[in-house]
Amino acid sequence: MAKHATPLLDQLESGPWPSFVSDMKQQAEVRAKNVENIEFQIPQDAVEDLLGILELSFADGTTHWKHGGIVGVFGYGGGVIGRYCDQPQKFPGVAHFHTMRVNQPGGKYYTAEYLRKLCDLWDFRGSGITNMHGSTGDIIFLGTTTPQLEEIFYELTHTHNQDLGGSGSNLRTPADCIGSSRCEYACYDTQDLCYTLTQEYQDELHRPAFPYKFKFKFDGCPNCCVASIARSDCSFIGTWKDDIKIDQEAVQAYIGGEFPPNGGAHSGRDWGPFDIQKEVNDLCPTKCMWMEGGKLKIDNKECTRCMHCINVMPRALRIGDDRGLSILVGAKAPILDGAQMGSLLVPFISAEAPYDEIKEVIESIWDWWMEEGKNRERLGELIKRQGFQKLLAATNIKAVAQHVLEPRSNPYIFWNEDEVEGGWDRDINEYRKHHQR
Amino acid sequence: MAFVSSGYNPDKPMENRITDIGPKKFDQFYPPVIAKNKGKWLYHEYLKPGVLVHVAESGDKVFTVRCGGARLMSTTHIREICEIAEKHCGGHLRFTTRNNIEFMVDSQDKVEPLVKDLESRKFAGGSFKFPVGGTGAGISNIVHTQGWIHCHTPATDASGTVKATMDEVFADFQNHRMPAHLRISMACCLNMCGAVHCSDIAILGYHRKPPMLDHEYLDKMCEIPLAIAACPTAAIKPSKVEVNGEKVNSVAVKNERCMFCGNCYTMCPSMPLSDKEGDGIVLMVGGKVSNRISMPKFSKVVVAFQPNNTPRWPEMTTVIKKIIEVYAGDANKYERLGEWAERIGWERFFDKCELPFTHHLIDDFRDPAYYTWRQSSQFKF
């Protein structure tokens, strides 16, 4: 018999999609039976109370979680989010129910052996409820009490060689796409760059010294599977400079219907026979592709590397060999001054270990933002407030036409004095000799 | 429930302390076929919805079976995932950015037994534990935020809206009939820890009532200047209020300037906004993050408000289904939802989707608003 009746949540057990309610109920039952004889360090019925408080929210349409208090582990300013419920008498099992962020491995690859160890720890010292994964990328441990925080951190670091992730005004846990580990589109090793920078900036990740949060995300190609361009202050998107490699025989195989276009992604209905002109050449945003003498031609100089032709014909077209990445900065969600997408700062930079050039760009951005940024001002907002030119000056990057979609349509240029011949100091009396009042 | 020490000594927190070690290194978790062929992949194909094959220069192939999962997941469920990985995949698995689970095998004959096993597993309530799908020109899993399960600022629930929506669009999780892939995202307030502002369809929780002021506690709980500074529209000013015959420092809110963002509440717990009738859902459509064909786009608001009609948000899922069906029937091959809406024109989008257009949908927030009005005599009747 469940501790709390949950008539509303129960209605989310039906339907085909995996039911989080059913999962929580099975977890509540496993804890109640406790066949492993675990000496639970937080209330055994925590999941029952979690279901109960969620049911209350479904009934009254409001949350029952209070603001976080200041809890954490010694020496870190992030990785733990304090959470208390506002009905502790009714739901004592979740009265204190803090979150811990555990820094996920690159590409979110795991072994069963490792995941099970984390489960053992979390069953013993927490609720056994997780997010796989949180929005930023961490493994989220959902629900433990204050005395357990140091214990969990101690076990993570001593037994599992595993650190916490970021929260608060610091570098948030960086996240990457699957990259070259299993994707032929990857223009650089996203996992290696993500790991290298995560290790390099551990201090920034654990000890808040920034005006606000700062996110890195790593996309191996312009398809942007981790959405770095929309949700990271510093977005690394793989690209290349030379020619798309063409296998003309494979092009013919696509035209002949031997290979399915787009890897078979459109197999759910009959779109008719593949038409390279209509489906590739005409959809190319720069119209830099055409058929000539039975061969596919690409004017690579005009290509903007949108990936469409490569996505449609992956067996015929491959990314170039002169690879690196573009850096775009300042993306953020709408709060406060409206949503922003990342803006192109570095059109091309090499992405080879030890990535010193990339680190230089990052650190010059941070220096400027930490100096000029207001409390709780994201990088994108600072760029808007002070202007893109200030960012260029701070990073010592020369303005190029690639930085803009179009040049400005107003002439209100803030000239610097040293850009104007003779400077700004002038003699009014000298002027009046030639211009009467 | 006796306290069991990990070995940590609270009197000497620095004793044997290990810090700043970062995450586990990725390559220790690679399946052998991935470790061997990293950086040497030639191409990939979808064998059927939910099943991919990647072919390497060496001739090696890795077959991936992708299945959906609720990101809110118990250790019991994770242990079952581990068991499957050990039974079929040498103990290896991974998760995707969109909360899917991927099981990889190195030969085709291992695929069907794995798929069968996954599809045979159901929760006691009847739902699939591991539905196979989420690939190609279909609808993948929804990325989402925390919601009522664990957050202090949500205007709706996350796991509940996601479950309700995925149940409705489930057939397209397992099909490739869409003109292009269609990404749905969910954020339970406009802080958007899930960043839904560039999704084909975005479900967003939103408040509609200004904060209440807990004058008696406000000055004790909050830094008043921070609460004032947090307001993007300068609607908050300092004030003195009489509470129980005593003058206390507090704030006043100019309600007509409030845009219900909740940023003040983030800074000051004595200014709560949440409300059963006030809170609900905004639907946005037409965003994308990919640079494919057209540039990345923001999602646009097409439904200003829908109520939190728990537990299944039927008004919301009805509109989502309608938009998806109209798009699927009308868009060209490879055309994303936003590209289609721009081609036919937004006025036509509202016609075709039978959505009412109201004044709420005209931008009036700062300079960018102007660029969304129609500076042209070109429009469709």
User: Is B270:B213 a contact under the CB 8 Å cutoff?
Assistant: yes
Cα separation, A398 vs A391, in Å, equals 10
Here the ipTM equals: 0.97
Contact criterion met (CB < 8 Å) for A8 and B310: yes
Contact criterion met (CB < 8 Å) for A18 and B79: no
Question: In degrees to the nearest 10, what's the CA dihedral of A408, A414, A417, A418?
Answer: -40
Contact criterion met (CB < 8 Å) for B127 and A17: yes
Which of B55, B94, B148, B236 is the mutation pick for testing A, counting most A CBs within 10 A? Answer: B148
Report the candidate in B202, B250, B256 with the shortest Cα–Cα distance to residue B222. Answer: B250
Contacts of A191 in chain B (CB under 8 A): 26-27
Cα separation, B188 vs B143, in Å, equals 11
Q: Which residues contact A83 (CB under 8 A, 6 or more apart)?
A: A65, A66, A68, A96, A97, A98, A99, A143, B150, B152
Cα separation, B3 vs B59, in Å, equals 55
Cα separation, B242 vs B246, in Å, equals 5
Predicted local distance difference test score (pLDDT) of residue A70: 82
CA distance A11 to chain B (A): 7
User: Which residue's entry shows tokens 């608003």?
Assistant: B369
Predicted local distance difference test score (pLDDT) of residue A125: 98
Contacts of B22 in chain A (CB under 8 A): 103, 163, 195, 198-199, 202
Report the candidate in B107, B95, B77, B160 with the shortest Cα–Cα distance to residue B134. Answer: B95
- The CA-atom distances, in angstroms, between A431 and each of A293, A420, A423, A426, B282 are 71, 18, 15, 8, 62
> Phi and psi (nearest 5°) for A233?
-60, -30
3-state secondary structure of A349: strand
Q: Which residues contact A40 (CB under 8 A, 6 or more apart)?
A: A31, A34, A123, A124, B1
Q: Judge residue B352's burial from the number of C-beta atoms within 10 Å of its C-beta, 0-12 exposed, 13-18 middle, 19 or more buried.
A: middle
* B38 touches A at CB < 8 Å: yes
User: Which residue's entry shows tokens 């209440």?
Assistant: B212
User: Which phi-psi region, left, alpha or beta, contains residue B324 (left: φ > 0; alpha: ψ -120 to 50)?
Assistant: alpha
Greatest CA separation found in chain B? 83
Cis peptide before A354 (omega within 30 of 0): yes
Predicted local distance difference test score (pLDDT) of residue A188: 98
| Confidence label for B193 from pLDDT (cuts 50, 70 and 90) | confident
Joined together, the tokens standing for residue B360 give: 């709420």
Report the candidate in B329, B320, B294 with the shortest Cα–Cα distance to residue B201. Answer: B320
Mean pLDDT calculated for residue range A76-94: 96
Closest chain B CA to residue A139: B71
User: Is A230:A329 a contact under the CB 8 Å cutoff?
Assistant: no
Contacts of A39 in chain B (CB under 8 A): 1-2, 4
Q: Which residues contact A54 (CB under 8 A, 6 or more apart)?
A: A6, A9, B148, B149, B157
| Confidence label for A432 from pLDDT (cuts 50, 70 and 90) | very high
List, as one string, the DSSP characters of A275-315.
-HHHHTGGG-TT--EEEETTEEEE-GGG----SHHHHH-TT
* Helices B159-168 and A20-33, packing angle to 10 deg: 120
Contact criterion met (CB < 8 Å) for B290 and A151: no
User: Is B344:B330 a contact under the CB 8 Å cutoff?
Assistant: yes
Joined together, the tokens standing for residue A113 give: 């052996």
Joined together, the tokens standing for residue B282 give: 């905004």
List, as one string, the DSSP characters of B295-356.
--B--EEEEEEEE--TTT-HHHHHHHHHHHHHHHHHSPTT--HHHHHHHH-HHHHHHHTT--
Looking at the DSSP bridge assignments, the partners of residue B202 are B185, B284
User: Is B175:B135 a contact under the CB 8 Å cutoff?
Assistant: no
Lowest-confidence segment of A173-182, A364-373, B260-269 by average pLDDT: B260-269
Give the pLDDT confidence of B96-131 residue by residue, as tens digits.
999 999 999 999 999 999 999 999 999 999 999 999
Give the pLDDT confidence of A393-412 residue by residue, as tens digits.
999 999 999 999 999 999 99
Mean pLDDT calculated for residue range B280-290: 97
Total beta-carbon pairs less than 8 A apart between chain A and chain B: 452
Predicted local distance difference test score (pLDDT) of residue A67: 82
| pLDDT of B192 above 80 | no
Give the pLDDT confidence of A46-62 residue by residue, as tens digits.
999 999 999 999 999 99
* A288 touches B at CB < 8 Å: no
- The pTM assigned to this predicted structure is 0.96
Cα separation, A69 vs A84, in Å, equals 8
Residues 232-261 (A) with a CB less than 8 A from some CB of B: 237, 260
Mean pLDDT calculated for residue range B199-210: 97
User: Is A126:A152 a contact under the CB 8 Å cutoff?
Assistant: yes
Residues 61-80 (B) with a CB less than 8 A from some CB of A: 62, 64, 68-79
What single-letter amino acid sits at B71? R
Give the pLDDT confidence of B251-272 residue by residue, as tens digits.
999 999 999 999 999 899 999 9
> Phi and psi (nearest 5°) for B86?
-75, -35
Give the pLDDT confidence of B14-41 residue by residue, as tens digits.
999 999 999 999 999 999 999 999 999 9
| pLDDT of A337 above 90 | no
| pLDDT of A336 above 90 | no
